Each structure stands twice: as structure tokens, then as C-alpha cells.
Amino acid sequence: MTTSSLSPLILVDGSSYLFRAYHVPYLQALSTADGQPTGAITGVLNMINSLKKDYPQGNVVVVFDAKGKTFRNDLYPEYKANRPPMPEDLRSQIAPIHEIITAMGLPLLVIEGVEADDVIGTLARQACDLGIETVISTGDKDMAQLVSPNVRLINTMTDVEMDEAGVLEKFGVKPDRIIDYLALMGDKVDNIPGVEKCGPKTAVKWLTAYDSLEGVIANADQVKGKVGENLRAALEQLPLSYELATIKLDVALEQGVAELRPKEANVEALTALYQKFELRRLLAELTAGQVAGDGTDAAGEAEAEPEISAEYDIIYEQAAFESWLKQLDEADCFAFDTETTSIDYMKAELVGLSFACEVGKAAYVPLKHDYEDAPGQLDIDYVLGKLKPLLEDKNKAKVGQNLKYDANVLAHYDIELQGVAFDTMIESYCLNSVATRHNMDALAEKYLGYKTMHFEEIAGKGAKQLTFNQIDIEKAGFYAAEDADITLRLHQAIYPQLEKSPNQLSVYQNIELPLMPVLAKMEQHGVLIDSDLLDQQSRALGKRLEELEVEAHNIAGKSFNLGSPKQLQQILFEELKIPVIKKTPKGAPSTAEEVLQELALDYPLPKIILENRGLSKLKSTYTDKLPLMVAGKTNRVHTSYHQAVAATGRLSSTDPNLQNIPIRSEEGRKIREAFIAPENHKIVAIDYSQIELRIMAHLSGDPGLVSAFTQGRDVHRATAAEIFAVDLDQVTSDQRRSAKAINFGLIYGMSAFGLSKQLDIGRHQAQQYMDKYFERYPGVLTYMEDTRSQATEQGYVETLFGRRLYLPDIKSKNQMRKKGAERAAINAPMQGTAADIIKKAMLAVDAWIREQNDPRIKMTMQVHDELIFEIHQDIVEETTAKLVEIMNNAVDLDVPLIAEAGIGDNWHQAH
């Protein structure tokens, strides 16, 4: 029986499903025996079959994007310019999908010069004219503009249908204003320009107030504030954005809706295809269908693959807990996560624990939920007592997300977490440090295409946010169990990718993962601060700041806030009529330090502002703040080192940031006097000398630069001698300063323009210096050129140890971005190799300290090229010598690696 002419039209946006299926992790693993990936094929077919099942009377038509440019590229050349090319393992699945769909007998449309959306739009409109009901199956929000009384959308992933009321509810505007809405927001992914800072909320607000895009444009001058300016700046672009966002309804099609009818399935061809791509389940169903004598609908009866589905238990009873314990004990590897009262590991108290041994099955063990009428929970000492042997067993593999945090929390419960076999945060960071942020929500979205439940959804936000112990156990249990489950799924999605790249896997296994417990130990131990000294400094600074404020107000002739750049601009450039030297990126007259420095030569106020700025920075950020960060438990300050933040491989430090404690200015340096050693101990600071320049020498292999280091010369002096063609002992201090600026500039990927600004010389002169430099050190020039072309060709650069940094902007058509990416490409191998080296040194140092088993030696801080220790005075000399030796030999380069040590009662003295 054929479908009647009034059976609903089901339009499938094949391309949208293709991409979604490609990113589903359990599908990613699928391939034929000879390696042809089949995950996307399977996914798309499952979705089509599931649709056929949901709409048995439906007339299914499948539409895909064609290869190549579309009319939108003609309208706007940058359209979708940011899209990376389609990955090969996806591309190779397209032709098979087309073949299979055709063999199934379904009409398949692939029209060049337009997108699938436009074909779907056109068909929907034709159907509408014929009075046929249409359902569009897509994951693309842009399609909402097509919704009408006769046209609905369905999201097959979520099985949610959307009619006109649904569009209004979801987007806040009716379907006939969706294009206006999209035009205002623009689209980062497709590179459609919109109004800067205008997101869904603002777009809806404006469309509600002014009805349509036309209305918004007409009333643009009434919109206040920054967004208003952005709107006015975008006025000319908006009609183009509108056009780009508009789905065409009049594509010329060879076959209209009336002609698009399903044919008999070609069972023979289908069988061959299913065999070829080893789609066993589909094959089995096809055969079963044949036997039942129902060839055409065989595939339609297929069960869809289950989506992310899960069974989460909440454990209240001892018996249930012990049964889980047994599962954990028997599992090769399990995921676990702690739920606590705070993100600050020093304040966090355990509220519950979650576990997962296999995907889709997880459990939450609530322990300390204490809201009114909270149900009874297992005793924390009992639970931890049972778990302790498992958690401390280094042969029992665990996987987690940012387990350093959990390790720090558990340390307060006398559990030393061991056997951390995998950490999904670090996996993602080692695979691609810049593709995403590395928190679980972002990872789940990127690698699983799954939106996790956000903490705010169960805890609320702002001042009224609940802590975990106050959250209803049933809600909390789902969230917590999901975390463990998702962690396991993430590991399964990310780790196989990491394994494909031996160098990156090595960085993960040999550097990052072993470093985690070392960092945890440093964080736990903390650093000792002399709060009294800092308080004293705060008072002195406060007094001086008051004096400066009075002086400044006198000169200005009125009172103003010295800390406000805006008010200062007003005073300096409008009231005192001082000339503007430089503008901020936003176009306001800049009052940055270099500007004030120059103005200070001719005017009195800038000098006062400079001193005020410097001192108030010291006071607010350091002398006031640090004493407040001393933890009650230990009387010390405990930073957090972040292992998955810096793109280049460096660590970063927050709460407080101990990697930017002042040293350059006299007053600032004093703050380091407050970083003290405990009784009978010394602070030892050991830093690598010129590490990045040495790495440049090693990586470039330039003979001149290498020999400068092997012969132990002052490298800046040696460089100056070469550039200025004078003897080493004839180099003036000015020449050395210039050479130093060039050496550093090179590490930063600098241009002649940058150097001229740095040295305050002409551009021509700067170019001459650089030419001379490259003439003397041609290996460096070759290295820079090679790095740049390597970055362009493969899209990433690598450190000496194989850490990778991807540079998506290297292909940008925006010259600013492209140049920026080139500079980053030059810098990353050097900064990143330095990061690798000090991390290796930390591992070697930690191994040695553990071997000594001597509590009188502690590593307390890392500041990129420097390690800081607390060492008992009785053993400080020999221990320091040993540590220097370990750091010197952390890696083997073609130039010597030199660490220099200082010893003192505080960090200042140790420098």
C-alpha cells in the first residue's frame, strides 16, 4: 500500500543529524574490521528508523547539504569561514549513508548551491500550499522560522515536538520573528555578524519593544548604553545578517513534494551495504523482515539505539552500600567523585560520595545532608573506613575529573588517595589545551554532546545559593551520580583519542598525571606568611596613599577617585587639557602607566597618580589580602595550582595567585619579606637561569647561540657584541640592554615594530638590529620560519617533549588574529618546553625528597622557572646543593641547564 497524498511529510535534516551522530561517543567507537568508521552511519540510520516508527503514515524525505559553496558565500564571503574542514573519518561515511538511504527507497535530496535548510524550507512551503502537514526533524534552531500552523519541528534526540506556541516559549518570539532574532544575535559558528553583546535576552527585549528588526533599526538611537552603541555600529550589517539567516522557500527543485514518494526498498542492495559496513543489527532485522514477507518496512521496525540512559542509585542502607563496595572491589577501574560544602579545598567538608563502575550505572552515598527532615544516612566513619583501603590502594585504578581536589579533601579525612590511573580533566588538556575549557560541563558537551545538570540548577545561585549539604538528597543524588557516570563516559571518549598520539600520551602519563599528587602536597602544605609584617606594611601604604590623594585633589582643584581611569581621563584630558598620547582598545584616552610615565615629565599630576596606582595595587592585592587568606587549620596560605588552564603547559595559581608576588619595585619587593620560613628553617629559592633562551638555542641549534651558552658567556652581552660588532668587553650597558630586548622579543615572536616601541628607536633602526641579529644567528631565523610554517601546515606546534598547542587562528582571514596566532606559535614551543622542564624537575625533586623521607625538606611553591623550598637550617647547605644538581639534570639539552639557588630567612633574602 502506498501512502495517501495527505499523509504527513517528514523532512529529515540529514546533515544536522550526521554531525550529532558523529559526536556521540558510543557511536564513535564503531567501525568495520578494516577500520572504516561507521558510527555516524549507524546514528543517522537509527534516527531515520526511529522517525519512521514514530510516524508510520509519514512520507519521509531526507535532505543533505551538498559539497561546496552556496549562495550565502556569494552574499558574504566570510560565511562559515571559521568552520574547520570536515574530518576525514566523517567525510568517508557520507557516501555510504546516501547509498543506504537510496537503497531503503527513501527520497534523498542533495542540492548544490543551497543548504539542506533551504531545500527543507522549500518543500515545507510546497506542502503547506497543498494542505499537507509537515514535520521537520532537525537539531538546528534556525529552522524555527519555518514553523507555522501546518509545520512543526521535532528534535529526535529529545523527542520534543515544537509548534508555534513552542517556538514562542523556547525563544521568546514567534516564528515570524525568528529571522529578526537570529540577525540581531549573529552566529559565531557560521560567522554571521550580529550586534556585539546582543544575545538571546537582548534580542527578545528589543523585538518585544519594537516588534521587528525594522522597528529595532528605526529606533536604534533610543537604545541606551554600550549595547545601544553596538547596535548603531551594526546597523549597516543587519540587513545582510537578516538575509543570511533567512531560509530560502523557493529553491528550484526537479521534483516537487508530489513527486517525492518512497520506492520499494532494494533489499539486495541494502543487504550488500549492510554487510559491507558490518551493520549486523540492521542486517538481522532486514532478514527477519524478509522472512515475515514485509520487505519495505523492515528497516522501519528497527529499534533505535538507546540514548544516554542511566540507572542511578542512592545508597541509604548498609546492605546496599556493601553490595556496591563489592562491585568496586571487583571492577578493574571505577569512577568516583566527592561532593562537599565548598570549592575551596581547605574549607570543604565531605557531604557525599558517588561511584560508577560501568557506563550508565552509578550510585550516590549521601553522608552529611543536614537540612530539616533530611533522611537518615550512613555513618561517615563507617563508609570512609570501608572505602579507605580501596582509595589508598595504588593498584586499584580510579578515574575522576580533577582528582587533585578530591585528594585534597580526602586528605582531611586521613585518606591518602592513590591509584589515580586517569583524570579526564588532564586527558582533555593534554589532547587539546585550547579546544574547550576542561571542566566537566564543557567536556560533556564537547565530547559527549551531552548537557549535564548544572550545579546552579539544584543549588540556585548568588547569595542564596545552597551548599551541597542543604540540597535535597534525591536531587543531589542524581547530580552526583551523573558526575561519576559522565566521568566514566568522558574517559571512554577522550582517552582513546589520546592513545592515538604517542607524544601527547607520554606528556599525560609521564608528566601531568604524576605531577598531580606533587602539586596536591604543595597545596596542602601551604606557605608561611608573616601577617603582622604585612599589616604594618598596609598601614604605611595607607598613610602614604592618603597624602597622595590630598596632593592629587589639590592639583586637580577638585575631589575625584584616583582609582577610576574614567574620572582620571576627565581630569587629565578635558579639564587640565593635557594632550592624549595613546588610546585604549575601546578608543578612550589611555591613562596606562607608559602614558603617565611620559606625561610625568611635563606635568605634576601623572607622577602622583603613578605612585598612587603602584601603592594601592600593592595594598589591595597583597598586603591587605594575603593575611585574610591564612587558613585557620594550618596558619598558612594555601594556593590552588591549576594544571589545565594555561594553553602552553604552564601552571597557573589562584586564591591567592602566588606566581605574581612583586619583585621589580623596591616597595613591592618588601612583600616577599613576609614569605617566611618556619622556626629553625630557611627559605631556599632555586631558579633556572635564562631557561627560555637556552631552549631557543637548543631548539634552533644555532651554533653561535649554543656556543654562547656552552662557553658560559653572559648571553645578552655576547648578543650585543655580535650585533654591534664590538669586543665582548667593549659592550656598553646600553648595547647590552638593546640586545636583551631583542633576545626577549624573539621569544615573544616580536616584530621590528614591537622592538622599536620597546627600545624607543625608529622602526628602521629596529629592523637593522633584527637583520643583524639574524645574520649572526641564522639558525634562529630558520627555526622561526620553520615553526611558523609548521603551525600553518598542521595547525599546531609542539614542545621538545611533544606537548601540543593547537592554533585555530593561524588560518584566520582576520590578519590581527592570524598574526597573533603566529606570535603564539613562535612562543609556545619555548614557553611550553620550559614548563615541561620544570615539571620534570619537580617530579625528580619530589622523588628524591620522598626517598630521603625527611620531614625537614618541603617544596612549597612553583613560579614558572623557580622552585621554593623550606629546609631545616641544619641540612640547608647540602640539601640545596643536591636540589640544584637535580634541577640541572632534569633534562638533557645541547646547552647547559643552570639552576641558581638563594638561601634566606624569607623569600626576599633567598633571592
Site residues for DNA, window 629-648 (CB under 7 A)?
Answer: 642, 645-648
- Per CB under 7 A, 754 contacts DNA: yes
* Nearest residue to 110 via CA among 55, 58, 68, 156: 68
Of residues 755-814, those binding DNA (CB under 7 A): 755, 757-758
Which residues is 687 bridged to in the sheet? 866, 900
Part in contact with DNA (CB under 7 A); list of ranges 474-482, 501-509, 661-669, 675-683: 661-669
Of residues 662-681, those binding DNA (CB under 7 A): 662-665, 668
- Per CB under 7 A, 564 contacts DNA: yes
**Which of residues 613 and 698 has its CB atom nearest to DNA in the complex?**
613
Among residues 67, 566, 633, 850, which is the contact residue for DNA, using CB under 7 A?
A: 566
Among residues 358, 593, 874, 878, which is the contact residue for DNA, using CB under 7 A?
A: 593
Part in contact with DNA (CB under 7 A); list of ranges 630-638, 655-663, 869-877, 888-896: 655-663
- Per CB under 7 A, 654 contacts DNA: yes
- Per CB under 7 A, 534 contacts DNA: no
573, 589 contact by CB (below 8 A) = yes
- Per CB under 7 A, 816 contacts DNA: no
**Which of residues 217 and 821 has its CB atom nearest to DNA in the complex?**
821
Q: Where are the alpha helices (DSSP H) in 349-434?
A: 380-392, 403-411, 424-431
Here's the x/- map for DNA, 441-480, by CB under 7 A: it reads as: --------------------xxx-----------------
**Which of residues 863 and 890 has its CB atom nearest to DNA in the complex?**
863
Among residues 715, 863, 868, 887, which is the contact residue for DNA, using CB under 7 A?
A: 863
Among residues 35, 376, 585, 855, which is the contact residue for DNA, using CB under 7 A?
A: 585
Q: What's the min distance (Å) between Cβ of 596 and DNA?
A: 7
Q: What's the min distance (Å) between Cβ of 658 and DNA?
A: 9
Among residues 13, 512, 866, 870, which is the contact residue for DNA, using CB under 7 A?
A: 866
**Which of residues 227 and 576 has its CB atom nearest to DNA in the complex?**
227
- From CA 564, how far away is CA 901, in angstroms rounded? 41
* Nearest residue to 864 via CA among 672, 664, 691, 638: 691
The secondary structure of residue 354, as a DSSP letter, is E
Q: What's the min distance (Å) between Cβ of 538 and DNA?
A: 12
CA distances from 256 to 66, 590, 685, 797 (A): 18, 62, 78, 51
- Per CB under 7 A, 542 contacts DNA: no
Q: Which H or E run includes 824?
A: helix 815-852
- From CA 267, how far away is CA 356, in angstroms rounded? 43
Q: What's the min distance (Å) between Cβ of 647 and DNA?
A: 4
Of residues 824-843, those binding DNA (CB under 7 A): 824, 827-828, 831
**Which of residues 391 and 596 has its CB atom nearest to DNA in the complex?**
596
Residue with cell 545532608: 369
Part in contact with DNA (CB under 7 A); list of ranges 146-154, 160-168, 537-545, 589-597: 589-597
Which residues is 398 bridged to in the sheet? 334, 420
Part in contact with DNA (CB under 7 A); list of ranges 113-121, 240-248, 490-498, 746-754: 746-754
Residue with cell 639557588: 901
Neighbour tally for 525: CB within 10 Å: 16
- How many Å separate Cα 194 from the centre of its chain? 24
Binding residue count for DNA, defined by CB under 7 A: 78
- From CA 25, how far away is CA 489, in angstroms rounded? 8
Of residues 265-324, those binding DNA (CB under 7 A): none
**Which of residues 278 and 655 has its CB atom nearest to DNA in the complex?**
655
- Per CB under 7 A, 344 contacts DNA: no
The secondary structure of residue 675, as a DSSP letter, is B
Of residues 113-152, those binding DNA (CB under 7 A): none
Q: What's the min distance (Å) between Cβ of 695 and DNA?
A: 12
Part in contact with DNA (CB under 7 A); list of ranges 144-152, 160-168, 754-762, 888-896: 754-762
Q: What's the min distance (Å) between Cβ of 625 and DNA?
A: 5
- Per CB under 7 A, 208 contacts DNA: no
Amino acid at 523: E
Which residues is 568 bridged to in the sheet? none
514, 843 contact by CB (below 8 A) = yes
- From CA 533, how far away is CA 673, in angstroms rounded? 8
Q: What's the min distance (Å) between Cβ of 544 and DNA?
A: 14
- Per CB under 7 A, 738 contacts DNA: no
Neighbour tally for 100: CB within 10 Å: 24
User: Cα dihedral sign for 34, 35, 41, 42?
Assistant: positive
- From CA 636, how far away is CA 311, in angstroms rounded? 43
Q: What's the min distance (Å) between Cβ of 31 and DNA?
A: 35
Show Cβ contacts of residue 102 under 8 Å, excluding neighbours closer than 6 positions: 108
All three cell numbers of 351, joined, read 557531604
All three cell numbers of 184, joined, read 540581531
864, 649 contact by CB (below 8 A) = no
CA distances from 416 to 524, 729, 857 (A): 12, 57, 20
Of residues 188-207, those binding DNA (CB under 7 A): 197, 202, 205
